[in-house]
Amino acid sequence: MDPNQKRAKAVDRVDSVDTGAASSESTRMCPFPDEVLERVLSLIGSHKDRSSVSLVCKDWYNAERWSRRHVFIGNCYSVSPEIVAARFPRIRSVTLKGKPRFSDFNLVPEDWGADVHPWLSVFSTAYPFLEELRLKRMAVSDESLEFLATNFQGFKALSLLSCDGFSTDGLKAIATNCKNLTELDVQENGIDDLGGHWLSCFPESLSSLEILNFASLNSELLLQAPQLMELGTGTFMQELVSGPVTELKNTFSNCKHLVTLSGLWDATPLYLPVIYPACARLTFLNLSYATLRSIELANLLTHSKSLRRLWLLDTVGDKGLEAVGSCCPLLEELRVFPADPFDQEIFLGVTESGFVSVSRGCPKLRYVLYFCRQMTNAAVATIAQNCPDFTHFRLCIMNPGQPDYLTKEPMDEAFGAIVKTCTKLQRLAVSGLLTDRTFEYIGKYAKNLETLSVAFAGSSDLGMEYVLGGCPKLRKLEIRDCPFGNAALLSGLTKYESMRSLWMSACNVTMNGCRELAKEKPRLNVEVMKDEGSDDSQAHKVYVYRTVAGPRRDAPPFVLTL
Amino acid sequence: MNLRLNLKATELRLGLPGSRSPERNPELSLLSSSKIDENSHFPLFSPKSVVSRNKRGFAFSEGTLGSNTEAHIIQSSMAASVQESHCEANDTKQNHSNAANNSNTPPTKAQVVGWPPLRSSFRKNSMATITSKKVEGKSGASALFVKVSMDGAPYLRKVDLRAYSVYQELSCALEKMFSCFTIGEYGSHGNEKLSETKLKDLLHGSEYVLTYEDKDGDWMLVGDVPWEMFIGTCKRLRIMKSCDAIGLAPRAVEQSCNRK
């Protein structure tokens, strides 16, 4: 897994396409000067299309790399910053994702890695005119934020989603130094809220800020937010979190252009009417921190008929979801979170009937994340019939391994119905009592599936084998607590290089199985995370991903690369 | 076989007489008791992700069950199969020492790491919405959450008793918390004044009384004892309809009569 060797191979691949008919082809095919080709290719935005373009021939490879302005790196360890900088000289915008998704749920130890700093160091010399940086699940320190703020003069947009390691001091550095900031989006991060008044560090003359989102921070800070609203009036697309609601009455009446609204932690029913004037144009409403009841939600929704995306807490109950079904015909995305996920004594929340109500009233639904405590196969089949356009279907029946509560059968037919009916399905998360049959359905029918999340499911290796044998577009597979072993792991030998990554934890995979995979597939990193006090022959947490950068050089002691 | 039976007869168990501890078999033989929910067999998932929050997490007896047998089953089946495997079974030694004090506190349910799949920032914030925010300067003692139910309300809430220092504060917080239910009954047309007055009438009038369950399991009227003593002994709160409060101390009934 010598990185130089890898690099040579990547280039070889392009060259070999090029030789053969190349010389005649290039004289025939490319009457354009390079500049024209670059200009044409610069209009191509999708990174998948750009990847395809770069494989056509050497000229196109070069034209593409010079014309690319945005690079998307789905796994920070699949490539090194040096390789990126060498290939793409004119990048203005970078999206970088780090830790495996299950790190959001504490399944990945701290100090696992995904430090953004090495990237920033390389970018400071390679891309001094970098304008945008979007990070997801990266480790970001205050020093890194300060480095960013002081080394990139034209920096405009920073988005930090589910990152950790920094505090409001780092945000202070950004606010103070980035004179051209148009976007600051800080969400769902594990950050130290040191209070302080980082918001006041924005210079008064800052008129460029358009997007400001810090939904997860302490509401104390947000008293200053209304002042920011006055900057750049009329062009705001801003997400606000409300603090003491009385202070915001005036701001909301000025909010004619508000498009998204989130937060409302302190919202009590008496005060909700305050935001009604702002609701008419809302397309996204995030109420996932507000313990609303069905009737409060219903009243709010009658003012919000333009909603496309809605996030709720399950305190609204099935009745609240009925209101959603009747008030929001344009709804495309619904997420229902549990107010009390760990307390099983309080039996409340939403059930299958709420979900069915929404599906009846909102046929355009394409994205659902639904946490519930009971579900039936019949209900899901109905939902699939009502909403055949699902692209993202994430159902979490919170009790692991729970069957259809009416028939007591496994939930296989539910997910079977989804994959058979929703042909555009790209992302699926399954739950409940599931046998290998579910995976047989998935492997057979889910032709467009890219991401699959599985927990506490399956009966044997066959389950995983079905998925790896089918699902032609699979890119990310994450599995926990399933009875899949080495045979299942190795059945994907030919598939993993076409995927971004595989995660398996608390399954039946052994170190020997992992070693064999690593041996057969040198272009994959097969990493095992050691657990304290666990059996040495078991591979408790396995993370497999393709890479051109070789084994990690910054791996902590508990990560073994085989 | 005989040997096993004898052992069973002399086994030190944690339950009330007559309760049976589930077989130590990771498969389906937990279904013997009528109390156990038929659905809750979990032969398909491994116990490797269990983290017991409490050393008592492996108590087997039904006698210590507070309420939800399903959760208990997760715990028992996990415990049973964990003992078979060589991993986390280091807490089982605690079982015998718990025989003496298995009365009031329900066993903490064994919690699966990272499940349900919610980001920790979300979990932290969702708890924050349920408690009162009066915590400035009270960084000493940890929170003391108790459940509050109201007759007729569709769900429970939780309050942190340590966030208040007098009964009046608690009463106000509860009024705020449960106002949505009573307002619901009167229609919610945003007429703030009217609704709040009505609520106060409800809570201070004759319709509802605030009661609590103390450490001995008795239901008492809130306000009878000094505040410090109250938070030391209160396990849960209930906003009860006055007509149901007749079983309480007679003094309570008299008081509510006087208010009429």
Report pLDDT for A344.
63
Set of chain B residues whose Cβ sits within 8 Å of the Cβ of A290: 129
Residues of B in contact with A533 (CB under 8 A): 87
Query: Higher-confidence residue: A447 or B8?
Result: A447
A–B: how many Cβ contacts below 8 A?
A: 149
Of B46, B125, B130, the CB nearest to A483: B46
- Give per-residue pLDDT as tens, B140-164: 456 677 888 888 776 677 788 887 8
Query: Minimal CA–CA distance to A417: which of A375, A453, A445, A447?
Result: A445
Across residues A514-529, what is the average pLDDT? Answer: 95
Q: Residue A435: is its pLDDT beyond 80? A: yes
Closest CA to B130 of A5, A373, A266, A169: A266
A195-209, A342-356, A432-446, A508-522: range with lowest mean pLDDT: A195-209
For residue A409, give Cα distances in angstroms to A388, A435, B40, B72: 24, 10, 12, 21
Per-residue confidence (pLDDT) for residue B166, from 0 to 100: 85
Contact A190 B67 (CB under 8 A): no
pLDDT in tens, A217-251: 443 333 334 334 332 222 222 334 433 444 445 55
Total-model pTM:
0.68
Which residue among B87, B179, B181 places its CB closest to the CB of A534? B87
Select the highest-mean-pLDDT range: A200-209, A377-386, B8-17, B124-133. A377-386
Least reliable range by pLDDT among A6-15, A96-105, A278-287: A6-15
Q: How far is B7 from chain A (nearest CA, A)?
A: 31
Rounded distance between C-alpha atoms, residue A342 and residue A336, angstroms: 16
Q: How far apart are CA A35 and CA A320, in angstroms?
A: 57
pLDDT digits (tens, 9 = 90+) for A49-84: 999 999 999 989 999 999 999 999 999 999 999 999
Structure confidence at residue A210 (pLDDT): 55
| Confidence (pLDDT) at B162 | 81
CB contact under 8 A, A405 and B38: no
pLDDT bracket for residue A373 (50, 70, 90)? very high
Query: How far away is chain B from the Cα of A456, in angstroms, using its nearest Cα?
Result: 5
Q: Is residue A132 predicted with pLDDT exceeding 90?
A: yes
Q: Please state, for a pLDDT cut of 90, what percent of chain A lies above it.
A: 59
State the complex-level ipTM: 0.80
Computed over every residue of chain A, the mean pLDDT equals 83
- Angle separating helix axes A58-67 and A22-29, nearest 10 degrees: 50
| The pLDDT value given to residue A293 | 84
Residues A522, A39: Cα–Cα separation, whole Å: 38
Residue B121, pLDDT score: 63
For residue A376, the model assigns a pLDDT of 97
**How far B26 CA lies from chain A's nearest CA (Å)?**
14
User: What are the structure tokens assigned to A411, written together?
Assistant: 């939930």
Residue A9 has a pLDDT of 38
pLDDT band at A306; cut points 50, 70, 90: confident
* Beta bridge pairs of residue A184: A158, A212
Confidence of residue A209 (pLDDT cuts 50, 70, 90): low
**Range name among A196-200, B43-47, B68-72, B184-188 with the lowest pLDDT average:** B68-72
Task: Quick: pLDDT tens for A149-185.
Answer: 999 999 998 999 999 888 888 888 888 898 888 888 8
Name residues 426-485 of chain A within 8 A of B (Cβ): 433-435, 453, 455-459, 480-483
Min mean pLDDT across A179-188, A378-387, B7-16, B218-227 is at B7-16
* In chain B, % of residues over pLDDT 70: 31
Q: What is the pLDDT of residue B175?
A: 79
Distance between CA atoms of A282 and A254, rounded to whole angstroms? 14
- Residue A136 confidence (pLDDT): 96
**Confidence band (pLDDT; 50, 70, 90) for A194?**
low
